[in-house]
Amino acid sequence: MLHTFAVYVDNKPGVLNRVASLFRRRAFNIESLTVGHTETDGVSRMTVVVDTDEYGARRLEAHLYKLVPCRRVDNITHAPAIARDLALIKVAATGEARTHVMQLVDVYRARIVDVSPESMVIETTGTEDKIDSLVEVLRPYGVVEMVRTGRVAMARGLVNGRRIAPRTGAGAAASEVNGDISSCSV
Amino acid sequence: MTLTGAQILWEALVREGVTDVFGYPGGAILPAYDAMLAYPIRHVLVRHEQGAAHMADGFARASGRVGVAIATSGPGATNMVTGIATAMMDSSPIVCITGQVGSRLIGSDAFQETDITGITLPITKHNYLVTGVHDIAPAIREAFAIARAGRPGPVLIDITKDAQQASAEVDWDAAAPRLSEAYDDALPGDGDAHDALALIATAERPLILAGHGIVQAGAERQVRELAERAGIPIAVTLLGIGGVPASHPLNMGMMGMHGEAWVNQAIQEADLLIALGMRFDDRVTGNLKTYAQTARKIHVDIDRAELNKNVRVDVAIARDLRAALDEWLPLITPRDRAGWLARIHALKGDAAVRDIQNLPDDGHLYAAHVINDLWRLTHGDAIVVTDVGQHQMWEAQYYKHDTPRSLITSGGLGTMGFALPAAIGAKIACPDKEVWVVVGDGGFQMTMCELATAVQEQLDINVAIINNGYLGMVRQWQEFFYDKRYAATPISGPDFARLAGSFGIPAAVVKTRAEVAGAVEAARRQKRTAVIDFQVEQEDTVYPMVPAGADLHKMIRRPSPIVETAAD
Ligand SMILES: Cc1ncc(C[n+]2csc(CCOP(=O)(O)OP(=O)(O)O)c2C)c(N)n1
Ligand SMILES: [Mg+2]
């Protein structure tokens, strides 16, 4: 089954590589992985979705904790949580079809964010299911390009209120030759 | 005081208590080497950087201290990879320091530039690319803390040449390691002591599986006490050898692929396995579907990621073994399990045990004899460092280790070429111990260049080459599983005695049983490196054997009752 982890990591060069490499080396299949800044400077948060069983999930959590820049791992699979995906969908709809697409966009509470003579770009946020279903209904009109962020998720309420302080010291040995990972997705 | 990065490196090593390092210079690490002579650290010049990593590993395994290896960028760094992976698999705490091209050149495919932090990412506990002089001291302090913490392992620090050359003031207090506090949090679902104690109290046929973690945690006494109080027999893994004395009446011997037949049978009959600091490697379980089906299982390991990995257990405890056992011991109710012990002894009797010493000398020289004689002649007191192959298994079967850290061997990675360099590290860590290398003719040829290191360092190491003219262990697999098609396993070698002579090392050739003792004693008397070429039976076989992936109790047994195992 799909497990969703919120993983807090020091925002340092190579951290994304360490996490991705761990999943590859341990033969876990990443469904999606997103990274972004958190409320704390120097700490990034990843949302990782993995297909595994309960034992696998526990082992993965333990492995993540063994990565030195990993600060906290929450398995929010079974916690009440809000999960969202964002998609940009380019549809090659013109003439008559355009009106139909605009109606569908309304029904799905999506937005049209760009229009050109041959195509339009639709932006939508929601659960993966909702986006999948929107993509399906748009497909007959010609989906020519799509990009999705992958799932970001947050538990409801104050489940784990402990804040993570930014870290200094050796680990902070950041170098200007490597970029930071403040925002990227896999 | 202002120091250069190179000076900070050595100062930091001295502050970590480092007295010896194993390394090889080159362009990108030259500033560090230039600063080295001013510091009270012995540098051992290796002949190949793989040797440096193995020496650091052998040093760590013999002493429990962190071993240190140094190399230059590019080929120097990549040569260490096998040694780092070996240390990772066997949880050996080493710190490897590599030079790197100048920070402005990184990413440009500069001369001898290699992404060694990328290459070693999956085979280190952690690694660092240090590009600024201010980051050197904190990186080294943290690296030592990580190498030692929890389940030990290798850490690599890659330091650019410009960082070594730049100068800075160091605030050593500010450089103190700040490891994540999350490290020790328990996860929901972790088992607790009460569950474990309840299982132990009610078990009729319990067995302790004793692994490397016992030695790593320094829990040898606790494990013995647990066994004695609760009347529980013990089986050891290859790396658990020495953690419980071989002579202890409750120590039944080694488990697994080449373990004792009665030990594997006992595992299959047990109703409780208490796995302490071991990880249910496929070499000890055989077929997981039929492994210990009748047993409940308790697993204590400091690495939570090992729990429920290969074998599902009833009680999983992620904890320092010594702390866990210290808590259990007062709560253990003494029990007499004479029936179960008698059952195992009956299994042992079934196994056609013979004292190999009583076998008639039929003119053949068997490796098992050589090793058993070596055990007697060294009074079981030596540190024996083995390579990988048949001789390694015979060592495990016929040299009886009573003390921790007295067998050093590459278990998890099974790295041929490990023995000689690891023995050099062990000897430097424990100069007062007698050190023996037990190595095959194949593996010896992989790293025999380190004989020159032993000579240059004036070390007293004894090398027993178990020379069978084959890559014996692979030949054995071909014999059993590939219809005796010996593809690429016959191996020639130099005249090892003359080779040793060319290094200025005294050597002997032994072809009969009668010559063994004389050669061993002569080597022991000489307070310098010595080599003995034991020309043993060529097509001898390690018995018993569980074929890879087969059921643990379905062992291939020796067809004729020659040498099953040593009785004593
Ligand atoms: C570096 C490396 N390459 C290959 C192997 C596969 N291997 C395992 S045992 C063995 C044969 C070892 O031969 P030798 O050193 O002569 O020891 P013997 O088995 O004859 O005692 C080989 C090739 C290995 N373990 N390590
Ligand atoms: Mg051989």
Are B209 and B278 contacting, i.e. CB atoms less than 8 angstroms apart?
yes
**Residue of B388, B437, B545 best suited for mutating to test ligand 1, as the one with most atoms within 8 Å of CB:** B388
Count the neighbouring beta carbons within 10 Å of the beta carbon of residue B57. Answer: 31
> Within chain A, what is the greatest distance between any pair of CA atoms?
62
Tell me, rounded to whole angstroms, the distance of Cα B323 from its chain centroid.
23
How far apart CA A7 and CA B239 sit, in angstroms, is 34
The DSSP secondary-structure symbol of A27 reads: T
Per residue of chain B (568 residues), what is the pLDDT tens digit?
899 999 999 999 999 999 999 999 999 999 999 999 999 999 999 999 999 999 999 999 999 999 999 999 999 999 999 999 999 999 999 999 999 999 999 999 999 999 999 999 999 999 999 999 999 999 999 999 999 999 999 999 999 999 999 999 999 998 888 765 544 455 555 688 999 999 999 999 999 999 999 999 999 999 999 999 999 999 999 999 999 999 999 999 999 999 999 999 999 999 999 999 999 999 999 999 999 999 999 999 999 999 999 999 999 999 999 999 999 999 999 999 999 999 999 998 855 454 565 566 778 899 999 999 999 999 999 999 999 999 999 999 999 999 999 999 999 999 999 999 999 999 999 999 999 999 999 999 999 999 999 999 999 999 999 999 999 999 999 999 999 999 999 999 999 999 999 999 999 999 999 999 999 999 999 999 999 999 999 999 999 999 999 999 999 987 755 444 444 3
Please tell me the distance from the alpha carbon of residue B326 to that of residue B221, in angstroms, as a whole number.
10
Closest listed residue to residue B232, CA positions, set B280, B278, B272: B272
Q: Which amino acid is at B79?
A: N
Residue the block writes with tokens 């994304």: A16
CB contacts < 8 A (A, B): 97
Q: Is B10 helix (H, G, I), strand (E, B) or coil?
A: helix
Query: Of A86, A57, A103, which is closest to residue A147 (Cα–Cα)?
Result: A86
State residue A160's pLDDT score.
60
How far is residue B49's CA from residue B124's CA, in Å, rounded to a whole number? 17
pLDDT confidence band for A170 (50 / 70 / 90): low
In eight-state DSSP terms, residue B414 is -
Note the pLDDT of residue A116. Answer: 95
Sequence-distant (6+) residues with CB within 8 A of A3 are A49, A50, A51, A52, A56, A57, A60, A75, A77
pLDDT, position B244 = 98
Task: Supply the mean pLDDT for chain A.
Answer: 87
Reduced to 3 states (helix: H, G, I; strand: E, B; else coil), residue A132 is helix
Flag if B122 and A21 touch (Cβ within 8 Å).
Answer: yes
Contact B111, A10 (CB under 8 A): no
CA dihedral B28, B29, B32, B34 (to 10 degrees): -80
Q: Pick the residue whose CA is nearest to atom 3 on ligand 1.
A: B416
* Cβ neighbours for B477, distance < 8 A, ≥ 6 positions apart: none
Cα A60 from Cα A51, distance rounded (Å): 11
Residues with CB under 5 A from ligand 2 (ion): B 440-442, 468, 470, 472
Whole-number Å distance between alpha carbons of B164 and B187: 41
Q: What DSSP string runs through B37-80?
A: TTSS-EEEE-SSHHHHHHHHHHHHHHHSSPEEEEE-STHHHHHT
Tell me the chain A residues in contact with residue B182 when contact means C-beta distances shorter than 8 Å.
Answer: 65, 70-73
Q: What are the beta bridge partners of residue B470?
A: B490
Strand (E) positions, B319-416? 383-386, 407-408
ipTM, 2 dp: 0.90
Q: What is the 3-state secondary structure (H, E, C) of A36-59?
A: EECCCCCEEEEEEEEECCHHHHHH
CA distances from B491 to A25, B182, B233, B471, B553 (A): 34, 52, 42, 7, 33
A17 CB within 8 Å of a chain B CB: yes
pLDDT at A159: 62
Cα–ligand 1 centroid distance for B207 (angstroms): 32
3-state SS class at B411: coil
Phi-psi region of A157 (alpha: psi -120 to 50; beta: other; left: phi over 0): left
Q: At what angle do helices B390-398 and B367-377 cross, to 10 degrees?
A: 40
CA–CA gap between residue A75 and residue A125 (Å, rounded)? 23
- Strands B20-23 and B67-71, bridge-based pairing: parallel
Helix or strand run (H / E) with residue B445: helix B441-447
Predicted pLDDT at A171: 47
What residues does ligand 1 touch, defined as CB less than 6 Å away? B 387-391, 414-417, 440-443, 466, 468, 470-474
What's the pLDDT score for residue B75? 98
Instruction: Output the pLDDT for position B559.
Output: 72
Query: What's B510's DSSP letter?
Result: E
Q: How far apart are CA B296 and CA B201, in angstroms?
A: 13
Q: Decide if pLDDT at A176 tops 70.
A: no
Flag whether pLDDT at A121 surpasses 50: yes
- Tell me how far apart the alpha carbons of residues B254 and B566 are, in angstroms, rounded to a whole number: 12
What are the catalytic residues of B? 49, 111-112, 161, 473
Distance B204 CA to ligand 2 centre (A): 43
> Mind listing the pLDDT tens digit for each residue in B246-271?
999 999 999 999 999 999 999 999 99
Contacts of A11 in chain B (CB under 8 A): none
Going by CA atoms, what residue is nearest to atom 24 of ligand 1?
Answer: B416
Residue type, A130: K
**Rounded-to-integer distance, Cα B288 and Cα B311, Å:** 7
Cis peptide before B490 (omega within 30 of 0): no
User: In this structure, what DSSP letter does residue B528 have?
Assistant: S
| CATH number for the domain running over A2-80 | 3.30.70.260
Q: What is the pTM of this model?
A: 0.93
Instruction: Report the residue of A66, A163, A178 to disrupt the B interface, i.e. the one with the largest count of B CBs within 10 Å.
Output: A66
Q: Report the pLDDT averaged over residues A67-71.
A: 93
> Which residues, 6+ apart, have CB-to-CB distance to B558 below 8 Å?
B352, B541, B543, B544, B564
The answer to whether A107 contacts chain B (CB < 8 Å) is no
Domain ranges of chain A: 2-80, 82-148
Q: How much is the pLDDT for B5?
A: 98
pLDDT score for B177: 86
State how far residue A169 is from chain B, nearest Cα, in angstroms. 6
Vertex B288: Cα angle to B283 and B289 (nearest 5):
155
pLDDT tens track for B302-316: 999 999 999 999 999
Architecture of the domain whose range is A82-148: 2-Layer Sandwich (3.30)
N-term to C-term CA, chain B: 61
Beta carbons of B232 and B250 less than 8 angstroms apart: yes
Test B139 with A173 for CB contact under 8 angstroms.
yes
CA–centroid distance, residue B81 to ligand 2 (Å)? 24
For residue B544, whether the previous peptide bond is cis, meaning omega lies within 30 degrees of 0, is yes
pLDDT over threshold 90, residue A164: no
Does this chain's domain A2-80 share its CATH topology with A82-148? Answer: yes
Q: Looking at beta carbons, which residues of chain B come within 8 Å of A176?
A: 131
Place of tokens 């073994």: B321
Measured in Å, residue B471 CA sits from the centre of ligand 2 at: 4
Q: What contacts B480, CB < 8 A, 6 or more positions away?
A: B545, B547, B556
Contact B304, B189 (CB under 8 A): no
Domains of chain B (ranges, CATH numbers): 2-169 (3.40.50.970), 193-348 (3.40.50.1220), 353-535 (3.40.50.970)
Residues B534 and B467: their CA atoms lie apart, in Å, by: 6
User: Within 10 A of B558 (CB to CB), how many other CB atoms are there?
Assistant: 18
Q: Are B471 and B445 in contact (CB under 8 A)?
A: no
Contacts with B198 (C-beta within 8 Å, 6 or more apart), sequence order: none
What pLDDT, on the 0 to 100 scale, is given for residue A184?
40
Residue B45 CA to residue B55 CA, distance in Å, equals 11
Written as one string, the DSSP assignment of A96-117 is HHHHHHHHHHHHTT-EEEEE-S
Give the number of other Cβ atoms within 10 Å of residue A98's Cβ: 16
Question: What are residue B235's DSSP bridge partners?
Answer: B209, B253
pLDDT of A82 higher than 70: yes
Nearest CA to ligand 1 atom 4: B416
